[in-house]
Amino acid sequence: MSSEEPLAGSSVNSEEPLADSSMNSEEPLAGSSMNSEEPLAGSSMYPADHDEPVGTPAFTARPVAAEAAPDQAAPTTLSTAQDVPVERPVQVDTGVFDELTRQRAREIIARYPQSRSALLPLLHLVQSAEGYVSQAGISFCAELLELTTAEVSTVATFYTMFKRRPSGEHLVSVCTNTLCAALGGDEIYATLCKKLGVGHEETAGRPGSPGSITLEHAECLAACDLAPVLQVNYEFYDNQTPQSAVALVEALQRGERPAPTRGAPLTDWRNTELQLAGFFGEPQQLRDAVDGPSAAPETLAGNRLAEERGWQAPAMPDNPPPLPTVAEKK
């Protein structure tokens, strides 16, 4: 189903008036709202909401209404839609998410004092299960967090790491921000586009099949001293050239997994997404991944130079000095 589904759903049944009324009730608190999302986005700022679970009754009304009148719009809510054929929200089957995924989802939610905080990790989990944020994935998160699909969609579409189309076995992200670009990042990206025959957020090969690669240009990847950089599944490949980048994607297409300059042994994008959701596998797997290299010569440049020249920070006193007494409030 198209990504418009949550919007269509919200326009025809009980969801909107209820959601609206809850927004309105907060408006005096919120003051002049910047836009229609402001009261929702800021709702937890206000004391009245503080101790409430995220799913207030206002947000759970949709499925109930939809089930109550299978062929008609829920009659008790909107007056405008009574006598015209009404498009009901399409029921999305979330059965694709197995019991293990559901168990993990419950673990994620348990990490937070308020369940909605689990939304970003849950969307990472959805991507690990399906290879993108599907409509089923949106519904899955909405059900678990007692949100509307519209509320989940608005978040899922905001963040660049959430992909709305099935992605490749590997995700190759090339930094094309100014500094990397000046040192060759633009050329690397252009070369890979040509090599793979794809553009930004497009996949070479059938998405999900072995050797398939989704390409993207990325904003600054926080490795400027190692520019130009690219990432495969968010592991760093530093100091790249067009030639090294082509060799890298050719290896990936052959099913090889060249080791990153900094990062854990390469797996695939979906596995990385599982880690972003907070699941790192067996303890030994985590230890092995943690021990992947991180200290490039650039990282240690200052450290090495200080050692060479015998520079040190001023010596600390042998024992921590006594703590100061608290200054009187003026």
DSSP reduced 3-state for 214: strand
CB 24 within 8 A of CB 58: no
Q: Under the criterion CB under 8 A, does residue 328 sit at the interface with other proteins? A: no
Site for other proteins in 151-190 (CB under 8 A): 154-155, 158-162, 173, 176-179, 181-183
Task: Classify residue 328 by its DSSP letter.
Answer: P
Per CB under 8 A, the list member of 104, 124, 170, 270 interacting with other proteins is 124
284-323 binders of other proteins (CB under 8 A):
286-287, 289-292, 294-295, 297-307, 309, 311-314, 316-317, 320-321, 323
How far apart are alpha carbons 150 and 145 in whole angstroms?
A: 13
CB of residue 132 to other proteins, shortest distance in Å? 13
Stretch that binds other proteins, among 67-75, 93-101, 231-239, 244-252 (CB under 8 A): 231-239
Residue among 134, 214, 231, 240 that touches other proteins (CB under 8 A): 231
Query: Per-residue b/e over 91-114, b at no fewer than 16 CB within 10 Å?
Result: ebebeebeeebeebbeebbeeeee
Residue linked to tokens 């092995």: 288
Least distance in Å: CB of 310 to other proteins?
A: 9
By CB under 8 A, residue 200 contacts other proteins: no
Q: Which of residues 36-65 bind other proteins (CB under 8 A)?
A: 37-38, 40-42, 44-47, 49-50, 54
Given the complex with other proteins, which of 35 and 103 has the nearer CB atom? 35
Closer Cβ to other proteins, 92 or 221, answer by number: 221
Q: Which residue has the tokens 């006594």?
A: 322
Size of the site for other proteins (CB under 8 A): 100
Nearer to other proteins, 62 or 124 (CB): 124
Between CA 84 and CA 79 the distance in angstroms is 11
Which residues from 61-120 bind other proteins, rule CB under 8 A?
A: 111-114, 116-120
CA dihedral defined by 69, 71, 75, 81, rounded to 10 degrees?
Answer: 150
* Residue 83, number of CB atoms within 10 A of its CB: 8
Binding part of the chain for other proteins, among 19-27, 206-214, 241-249, 278-286 by CB under 8 A, reads 278-286
Residue 28 is a binding residue for other proteins (CB under 8 A): no
Alpha-carbon gap, residue 126 to 279, rounded angstroms: 13
Contact residue for other proteins among 218, 230, 245, 248 (CB under 8 A): 218
Show the tokens assigned to 32: 């002049």
Whose Cβ is closer to other proteins: residue 84's or residue 295's?
Answer: 295
- Interface pick for other proteins out of 227, 230, 245, 248 (rule CB under 8 A): 227
Query: Which tokens sit at 277?
Result: 């959701």
Task: Decide: 29 and 21 in contact? Cβ < 8 Å.
Answer: no
Nearest distance from C-beta of residue 65 to other proteins, angstroms: 24
49-67 in b/e form (b: 16+ CB < 10 A) is beeeebeeebbebbbebbe
255-274: contacts with other proteins (CB under 8 A): 262-264, 272
Residues of this chain, 130-149, that bind other proteins according to CB under 8 A: 145
Whether 296 and 240 have beta carbons less than 8 Å apart is answered as no
> What's 266's DSSP letter?
P
